[in-house]
Structure 1
Amino acid sequence: MATTSIRGSAFNLDLNGRHHKAALGVFMFIVIAHWAEHVVQAIQVYAWGWPLADARGVLGLPFPWLVTSEWMHYGYALLMLVGLIMLRKGFAGSSRTWWNISLGIQVWHHMEHLLLLAQKLSGLYLAGRPVPTSVLQLVLPRMELHLFYNAVVFVPMVVAMVLHRRAKEQAGANCTCAPVLVPAT
């Protein structure tokens, strides 16, 4: 058990140390690709006039089950939550504050997806709706709500990363994300 803990700790130190920049890059690629799917779906509805049932983003066109799979949506929400938690220790100062804001919003977003998945599995739907419904979906349509969620998680995450890349924000951080400053000669 102690060996697993030591290995897990070393992994976390590497992830938030020498591999932090690469891990953030991979994480942001996944986040942006997911958000792009939601943006494409909105373009399909609002710019191209497609019915919502036909607007499935890019990957949802050849794989329509992706759009309707509560497991897939929950899995992504969980991946986001785990990524935000695992990469958190690499941040310091105000960049950590912004990362924490993103994490806090993602906790709620994750809970909404957990609620949707529980409804799908149980067949018992919120407020007597005919389909799984999240709390905020009671006042906002699902497509627009997920665009909103992705934006309000993404924006503070980007602010955190921009601040994090500044050398002055690196005090207390143990990573190589900040650019190396070469002294003037």
Structure 2
Amino acid sequence: MAISTGVSPSALRGGIDSINSRHHQLGLRVFMFIVVAHWAEHLVQAYQIYVMGWPIPEARGVLGVPFPWLVTSEWMHYGYALVMMVFLFLLRPGFTGSSATWWKTSLGLQVWHHLEHLLLLAQVLAGAHLLGKAAPTSLIQLIAPRVELHLFYNTLVTVPMVVAMYLHTRANRPDNAAARCACAPKD
């Protein structure tokens, strides 16, 4: 028995085509808003820990102060990792040349980041933690603390994404000649 989503494959292809042509710039802007908001959370949390001297459980970023459950929710962290991966995947066809290479690098790194969050979520759902640890633990978290690790992961994903967007939006780059969007101004 097939489950119907109510969206035809041709409509889905049309939507993906649209977000990578006439709506690519808007898609990138929405995505960057999400990325910057997420970075703000991580940077505020790091500031709370390293500048203000708050203990890690109390350093919850901006939204985590009024809504502490957000910081401890593996569902929320997993959801963000999934949203990042989906946006990187959906916006990928709009990139050409070297900007596409940088974008695909960011996507590949996010796939790993997503898998780490999936492992954390699976531990919460199973009620059993990796190697008997006291809390859900990702693979790389076995050698690096979680706060620093997530700053590192977000940097690894964001740097090639920003390079891709920079290259993609430069006018008159030969790489952008094949782009179907208006992200790079034409002279």
1:69 pairs with one of 52, 58, 73: 73
Identity across matched positions, percent? 62
1:161 equivalent to 2:165? Answer yes
Shift of residue 170, structure 1, vs aligned partner: 1.4
Structural mapping, 1:164-183, within 5 Å: 164-166=168-170, 167-168=172-173, 169-181=175-187
Q: Give SS of 1:87's match.
A: helix
Q: CA RMSD in A?
A: 1.1
Structure-2 separation of matches of 1:142 and 1:164 = 33
Structure 2 residue 29 is the aligned partner of structure 1 residue 19: no
Asked if structure 2 preserves the Cα contact closer than 8 Å seen for 1:20 and 1:177, the reply is yes
Alignment correspondent of 1:88: 92
Residue pairs, 1:123-142, within 5 angstroms: 123-142=127-146
Q: Name the CA distance, whole Å, in 1 between partners of 2:12 and 2:132.
A: 44
3-state SS in 2 of match to 1:171: helix
Provide the C-alpha distance between the structure 1 equivalents of 2:91 and 2:138, rounded to a whole number of angstroms: 27
How far off is 1:123 after superposition? 1.0
CA distance in 1 between counterparts of 2:169 and 2:156 reads 21
For residues 10 and 138 of structure 2, the distance between their equivalents in structure 1, rounded to whole angstroms, comes to 39
Q: Which has the higher contact order (CA 8 A, sep 6+)?
A: 1
2:47 pairs with one of 43, 53, 72: 43
Partner amino acid, structure 2, of 1:84: L
TM-score by structure 2 length?
Answer: 0.94
Contact 1:96 1:160 in 2 (8 A): yes
- Separation in structure 2 between the aligned mates of residue 4 and residue 175 of structure 1, nearest angstrom: 24
Q: Matches of 1:122 and 1:6 in 2, distance apart?
A: 38
Report the alpha carbon displacement of residue 36 of structure 1 after superposing the two structures with TM: 1.1
Matches within 5 A, 1:109-120: 109-120=113-124
With the length of structure 1 as denominator, give the TM-score of the two structures.
0.95
Query: Which digits, 9 at most, give the CA deviation of each residue in 1:98-151, with x for residues without a partner?
Result: 001100100000000000000000011111101100000000100110000111
Distance in 1 (CA, whole Å) between partners of 2:183 and 2:91 is: 12
Q: Using the alignment, how far apart are the partners of 1:63 and 1:178 within structure 2? A: 40
> 4+ residue stretches of structure 1 with deviation over 2 A?
none
Given that 1:40 and 1:58 are in contact with CA atoms closer than 8 Å, whether structure 2 keeps it comes out as yes
Aligned to 2:126: 122
**What residue number does 1:79 align with?**
83
